[in-house]
Amino acid sequence: MPLLTSDAKGVYPIAPTPFFDDGRIDTASIDRMMDFYHSIGATGVTVLGQLGEAQKLEHTESLEVASQVIGRADKLPVIVGVSAPGFAAMRALTHEVMARGAAGVMIAPPNTLRTDDQIVNYYRQAVEAIGADVPFVLQDYPLTFSVQMSVGVIKRIVDELPSCVMLKHEDWPGLEKISSLRALEKEGKLRHISILCGNNGLFLDYEVERGADGANTGYAFPDMLVDIVRLNAQGDREAAHDLFDAHLPLLRYEQQPGVGLAVRKYILMRRGVLSSAAQRKPAAPMSAVARTEVDHLLARLAKKDPRAGKLVG
């Protein structure tokens, strides 16, 4: 499989890890999920991300899940999250998944980093550990990791580490950061890197207008994210915003910390992608009231998007 490059565009859904109710990994749902991503026009996939419950998997399980995703990906590039408390574990998983055909890895910063120098030094050491020949995604997600990456710190990492080919942009607010990075590139002060956005796609409509190349996130309707990127590329701005606005109430609901993954898995189960909405413990399952609210949101969405209509009634 080709390696990840700075020209990556489109939508790389963050794949949830499917589980049975007893906590076992549901391998049949992994295959079904990958077939679904192919069918909707995804341009890549990220596995073992923050909402892939990677922290609940043993090393052997992480490798098995990543290997199955890579094996089913066909020509879709697969990014594997390899964030770990220490570099030994990061190195081991990186080398194993790259040997199996991963396109690159994603590295999130530990929440102990506070200064710009600490952040840059961490990524310098991470590249030393995994190898400078492995393309990596810089995950900028201060709402979860409590690490603030300024435009200047991102520029330092990109300048110093050629293997950094993508920024997973999840700062909030972050539209000005995208504009600033693209302005530096236009001025010839920063080499081009791919910018794919997270945060459940909550700001994707304007992020792509600011210069982002697409999305690298979850959401129970990743096909909508694909449509937003496509419509923007076609110059059909109002159609993109109309579709986004129709999904915004459900996007907002699914973005809630704690309950968001339960909502996503519930809808993906309703869509026939997952056989169960189960999360591995510790988990925060949906309450009966929450399921009623999600069903209500789906019914309202169905009035504007027929994909949701298949789940109503």
189-227 pLDDT, tens per residue?
A: 999 999 999 999 999 999 999 999 999 999 999 999 999
- Residue 284's pLDDT is 83
Write out the two tokens for 16: 């949830």
249-298 pLDDT, tens per residue?
A: 999 999 998 899 999 999 999 999 999 999 999 998 899 999 999 999 99
Q: Are 274 and 35 in contact (CB under 8 A)?
A: no
Q: What is the CATH number of domain 10-220?
A: 3.20.20.70
Q: How far apart are CA 298 and CA 267, in angstroms?
A: 9
- Residue 313's pLDDT is 62
- Residue 285's pLDDT is 84
User: Domain coordinates of the chain in residue numbers?
Assistant: 10-220
Please give the angle made by the CA atoms of 94, 108 and 197, to the nearest 5 degrees. 110
Q: Are 105 and 87 in contact (CB under 8 A)?
A: no
56-91 pLDDT, tens per residue?
A: 999 999 999 999 999 999 999 999 999 999 999 999
84-101 pLDDT, tens per residue?
A: 999 999 999 999 999 999
65 beta partners: none
Q: Are 75 and 37 in contact (CB under 8 A)?
A: no
156-173 pLDDT, tens per residue?
A: 999 999 999 999 999 999
